[in-house]
Amino acid sequence: MRRLPIFLVVDISESMAGQNISLMQQGLGRLISQLREDPFTLEMAYIEVIAFAGRAKVLTPLVDLMSLNPPDLPLGSGTSIGQALDLVMNRIDSQVIKNSEGKKGDYKPLVYFLTDGAGTDNANAAIRRWKSSYSRSAKLIAIGVGKYADLRIFQDISDLTYRVENSDLSLAYKTLIQSIKDSIQSQSRSVGMGKDMTPEVRETNGVAIARGNNARGIDENFAIFIGKCSRHRLPYIMKYEKFDIVSKNYPPTLPYEIRTQLEMLPREVLQQLAAKQPEGFYCPVGIYAADSSFDSWSDTSGVAQTVQASQLMGSAGSCPHCHNDDTSGIHRGCGFLCDSSHSTSVTCPHCNMNLYKDSGGGSGFDFAINRSKG
């Protein structure tokens, strides 16, 4: 029996923290269950799940649908699309059965690349490799999740590029999973009947993506910080979203006190504030727990840049591990945040040196915080 290999490549970068990763986790389970209901797909489809953040790894190897269990999705720092694409090509080489004399191999594999942000590594070599050796032997469908997904990097290699976007995040993910399911089932039936066509992804709530290619090295739409609980020494992700301070069309997560103060200021004053801080301002989205596997998925090549504490409008919340409200401790030796506990003497969980405790609120001075790549 000839197989239809399918590679699901899923973004697990820190920008996915919170509802995104939870809905993606649920969506994978729903996708597998629904695909098992179609006899063509159940007979032919073999699926592998690859995850990528700063690093890319195989979560579940290529197996038939009945043997596939939805993997738990971890989190990591960075969005290394180039690494993920290289891993997909390596897996195609090692897992997909090629045609041989007197015997046909697997059908042309499908690769679904799902991301919610922008690439943070240099993917040029991986793209050249795909174009020269895989563009005719595999099909790549690039799917952006949400308004910040930058898919321009796929402009020359994807058979289809589209975006799922909806103000109702839950509905957006349901649309995404339904689209992938329809695409896989359509392709399964086509090859089962002796045809081979480019899969069609339903574009409900989706729009075409503009062409262009620019791996920016950092996702500028968010300011994301990696902290560590000084008590449990486990990482957490503090997520902030950039907003326009002049517009007065402020995100709902902007704290009420700050929103009220800004709304009372004349537009001219807001323009002056924006001019003094050209890098922009960020409002809190949330703070999310990560587990001990976080570092193994993360890009450790160095900190991309910093953000000043004065750019952050409000607290992201308490430590998700020990529930301490003070997550603003910063060690000047390494520049990373940590839960500074209730003690004046704390060992930095990042570098194991004594912590110098600063606080953004009422400290009377500004300081830089190391920013994750997003």
CATH number, domain at 130?
A: 3.40.50.410
Top pLDDT among 205 and 268 is at: 268
Residue 216 within any structural domain of the chain: no
Residue 227 within any structural domain of the chain: yes
CA trace torsion 348, 354, 360, 366 (10° rounding): -120
Look at residue 304 and tell me whether its pLDDT is greater than 70: no
262: number of CA atoms within 13 Å, CB side?
24
* Residue-wise pLDDT tens digits, 260-270: 999 999 999 99
Q: Average pLDDT, stretch 146-150? A: 84
Residue 214 within any structural domain of the chain: no
Look at residue 243 and tell me whether its pLDDT is greater than 60: yes
Residues 188 and 327 in one domain: no
Residues 181 and 285 in one domain: no
**Domain-ending residue, one of 208, 240, 262:** 208
* Residue-wise pLDDT tens digits, 174-184: 888 988 999 99
DSSP-derived 3-state class of residue 154: helix
Residues 274 and 353 in one domain: yes
The per-residue pLDDT for 141 is 94
**Domain range for residue 162?**
4-208
- pLDDT grade, residue 211 (50/70/90)? very low
Residue 37 within any structural domain of the chain: yes
Residue 123 within any structural domain of the chain: yes
Residues 307 and 243 in one domain: yes
Percent with pLDDT over 70 in the chain: 80
* Residue-wise pLDDT tens digits, 216-226: 456 678 888 88
Look at residue 115 and tell me whether its pLDDT is greater than 70: yes
The per-residue pLDDT for 362 is 38
Look at residue 271 and tell me whether its pLDDT is greater than 90: yes
Residues 204 and 255 in one domain: no
Tokens read off for 121: 């590594």
Residues 274 and 151 in one domain: no
Residue 75 within any structural domain of the chain: yes
The H-or-E segment that residue 24 falls in is helix 19-35
**Domain-ending residue, one of 175, 208, 241:** 208
Top pLDDT among 347 and 53 is at: 53
- pLDDT grade, residue 335 (50/70/90)? low
Number of domains present in the structure of the chain: 2
The average confidence (pLDDT) of the chain is: 83
Residues 239 and 186 in one domain: no
Residues 307 and 340 in one domain: yes
* Residue-wise pLDDT tens digits, 35-76: 999 998 999 999 999 999 999 999 999 999 999 999 999 999
DSSP 40-98: HHHHHEEEEEEEESSSEEEEEEEEEGGG--PPPP--BS---HHHHHHHHHHHHHHHSPP
Look at residue 196 and tell me whether its pLDDT is greater than 60: no
Residues 231 and 150 in one domain: no
User: Best-predicted range by mean pLDDT among 79-93, 95-109, 234-248?
Assistant: 79-93
Q: Report the C-alpha gap between 355 and 333 in whole angstroms.
A: 8
For residue 57, the cross-strand partners are 51
Q: Report the C-alpha gap between 251 and 59 in whole angstroms.
A: 35
Residues 354 and 244 in one domain: yes
106 secondary structure, DSSP code: P
Residues 138 and 261 in one domain: no
Residues 153 and 231 in one domain: no
The per-residue pLDDT for 340 is 59
Per-state percent for the chain, helix, strand, coil, to nearest 5: 30, 25, 45
- pLDDT grade, residue 364 (50/70/90)? very low
Residue 217 within any structural domain of the chain: no
Residue 335 within any structural domain of the chain: yes
Top pLDDT among 316 and 269 is at: 269
**Domain-ending residue, one of 208, 231, 247:** 208
